[in-house]
Every structure is written in structure tokens, then in C-alpha cells.
A and B are shown apart, each in its own frame.
Chain A
Amino acid sequence: MSGSAAVGVYETVIGLEVHVQLSTQSKMFCGCACTFGAPPNTLTCPVCLGLPGALPVLNRKAVELGVRAALVLNCTVRPESRFHRKNYYYPDIPKDYQISQYQYTGHPPLATDGALALEAGGGTRRVGIRRVHLEEDTGKLVHAGGRSLVDYNRSGMPLMEIVSEPDLRSPEEARLFLTRLRAVLQYAGVTTGRMEEGTLRCDANVSLREPGGPHGIRTEIKNMNSLRSVERALRFEEARQRDLVARGAAVVQETRHWDEARGLTFSSREKEEAQDYRYFPEPDLLPVCVDAAWIERIRRDIPELPEARRRRFVETHGLPEHDAGLLTETRPMAEFFEETVRLFGHPKTVANWLVGDIAAYMNAAGVEIEEIAVRPAALAGLLTLIDRGTISGRSAKEVLDEMLRTGRTADEIVRERGLVQISDTDELARLVDAAIAENPGPVGDVKAGKDRAVTFLVGQVMKKSRGRANPEMVNRLLRDRIGAS
């Protein structure tokens, strides 16, 4: 962070606007399926194509998931909310208006005034949730060969927007909030929350202020496509604003896009305030009424949340707090863990591999657990081979590495590479004898009682066996032979 001491007293103020795609079977206002990756314009009908005469009908399940999200975010669910039309022209929006819940006097959104707790720096921070509302997604423009094409598969997909209060004070905290929010929503079954598929999208408002003082001019940051890029983009923007302030220059209220490749935000040169969306209540839909009984039914159906699952992992699987925390950070990770344990048992072993080698691989490759080539059954297969002594722990790391790269099973790899552990005494004895003959010095050390030399000799045998020798048997054989000679 650059700037003089005077600039240092400014604090960073960040608020997030998060869009998630709700995990419904069908779109927000029609019966078309919500499937990712279908051929262009195959998931469409008169309604989501905005054909003349077609009318929207609200998907009850979307309301239910919205209420569910509101409940896990401790929001007040409004007994009646309304949809509005946001009018603007663009080819990806077939009606040239978007149906959305817009807040103005007398028409609150689905839910308001919630909070999400963050564990940070040893304490718990409460980040306010200003509002939760529902809206429909737009289609997607595809530019190809000098032409612009539109894919309307995404048109009408159910979205929920969650707007946080500007309670976040650093890019790290923003990332933590987003991670936590995603986990809670995933656990509640509200969304798959996959940024790379666009089922979770995040914009941020960033400004500086003197602590306790009024908010400074804010910029809106868009186009952040991963948790990592959220943190990077905000870090850049924070530094940029601090630099401006340090130089006595003004921060301009504007929308800025994050350029992942260049690692910077740039002004999108959209004129703020220039757009008049001419919001008015959507006359084709009735108000959304959510009564207390419905809220109770929805509350009862909320699946186990991350906090509860973390506690369960500690209590029933005996995992250390730290591991349990990491394993419950996303719902897919927790489910991966539980499924592997179901197939293999030994929860602690499973946890070690997941928070160790597999997490390291995910970090390095920048992928999520559901994207890696290894599924729980495959991991259980690998762990079984170790457990039976078929392969050594050292070979296992090598095998896992190839499994992650190729998606092949441990059995296949072990067989093909001849990695089956050598536990045959005659064969091992030959290797041990050769090592003793080649290393008279260390052998003498062993005889002189220097135990460390045994380790060296075991290493030599392992090398000769290309890691396949059973290390415990080698150790025993070495001691026997040297002692006997």
C-alpha cells in the first residue's frame, strides 16, 4: 500500500453485490430447464424469448430458495414484495426490460436487514446484509466472425441478488465474506455458487474514508471471476484510490472493470446517472406474498449449515478444528470428504489427504474440488491400496499426482508403473545385501551404534527399489544382517 502517513489513516470501505443463480429445475418465469452448457438457444420458449403475447409466471421454487437464503442470512422476510420492470435496450434482454425486484418506497424487496458472521482475527465480525431480491438473468452475446449472436439459454434463469452493507474493511475480509457467504448458500441448497460457471457473480463498491467519517466517493468494480480475482482487484483498487488521495487527486465515481491478465482495474467509461431505467411495477405478475406458515415450512427444510457440519466433523469424526474448518468451507468439499469416509473409513486419514496433497493441488491449479479429476471413489481406492500395503505412502503421492492429472484410477497406474510394494523377503534381502556391500563406511557406523546411519542405508535400498521396497521390512533386514555379520 503506497501513500504517506496521512493517507494511512484512511480506512477502506467495501460493500459487495453478489448475484447467485438459484438451484431450481426451471427458469424464473417459464418451464425451460436450467442446465449449464446446453447448445445455444435450445433452452427457450415464447416466455424467455419475450415473444409477443407471452407472459411470465413466477417459479414458486425460486421464491422458496430466496426465502431460504434470507433465513440463513438472518434477514427479515417481507410478507409482500413486488416485481418491477427495469427498462433498457440491449439484444441480450429479449423483452427490452428485465423483471426484477426493485426497492422504492412502499415496495420492499423479498428480504432486508440481515447479517453474516465472520470469524476473523480471533474475533467474530458481523457484516450487514442490506437486501435480498429476485430477478431474471439475461441472455448472452457471442461475438464471432465480425457478427454478434445471442444465446438465450441463460435468459430468464433465476437470480438472487444479495447486497451487503459497506461493512467490509479490507480485500482479505471481502474475500472471506464471499467465501463464507458462498458456503452458507451452498449448504442451504440455494445455489451451486460456482464463479467459473457464472452461478455466482460479484461486484464491489470501494471507497476510502477517515475512520468514523463520511464515506468517500466510491467506484464500482465489475468483472471479477474468482475469489482470488476479487481479492486481487480490490487490493489494486484500494491502492489506486489511496494513491489518488495521497497525491491530492479526486476519486471519480465510476464503474471500473477488472482486467485479470493485466492485474488492474480500468474505467468502463459508462456515464453514471445517465441511465433512466423507468422502473414501474410489473403488471403481469401478482405481488409475492410469503406468510409466516410458509416461512416456517421453508425454515424446517433448510439443510445442515457449515457451522453445524464443522461441529459434527469434530465430534463424530474426531477431526482437529482446523481440518474440520477447511473441509466445511465449501459444501462440495464437505460432501467429498463424507463420501470418501463412507467408502473407506478412517476419517483422519481422509482428512489428511484432502487438506494436504489435494488442497495443495487445487490451490496450485486454481480449481474447486468439484472440478478435479479425482472423485471420492477413486480417492478411497488409492487409500485402500496404501492401507493394504500394496503401495508405499511415497508411491501413493506419485500415484495421486497422476490421478489428478489424468483421471485414471490408482489400480491402473500402480499396475502400469509396477509400483506394487516389494514385501518379498528374498528379493528385499538381495537389495539389502547389495547396499551393505556398497557402503562399508555407514555399515561400520551402524556397528559403532550410530543409529542415523540405518536411515541412510534404508534410503539406499529404497533408491535401488525405485521406492517400491517396504521400508519397515528393509529396516528390520538391515539391522538383522549387520548385527549378524
Chain B
Amino acid sequence: MSEPAKTSPVITAYKDAPVPTKASLRWRRNIPLQLVKFAEFNGRLAMMVLKGHDDH
């Protein structure tokens, strides 16, 4: 192995990344909205299961 490089490749933050606002963070814990998302996600899973098998 050669000498370790001097510059650190550790990225501490992505400056162009869209960081959520306080309101977005609150919505992520908002029970009624999360219930809707829960239902949506399960719907997508069901779609995948149905499309994934050729038949039964």
C-alpha cells in the first residue's frame, strides 16, 4: 500500500442537498398524513406482488 493521502475524503455535508424545513419534519410525524402514506405504501407493495408473480 502507498502513503495515505493528505486530504480527507470524509464528506461532512452536501451543500446543494435540499434540507427539510421544520414544517416538513413535523409532517413526517403527523399521524393522519402518515396513515395515508402507510396505506399508499402498502398499496404499492400489493401492486408489486401482483405484477411480480406470473401466476399462482
A binds B: no
Residue numbers of B with Cβ under 8 A of A are none
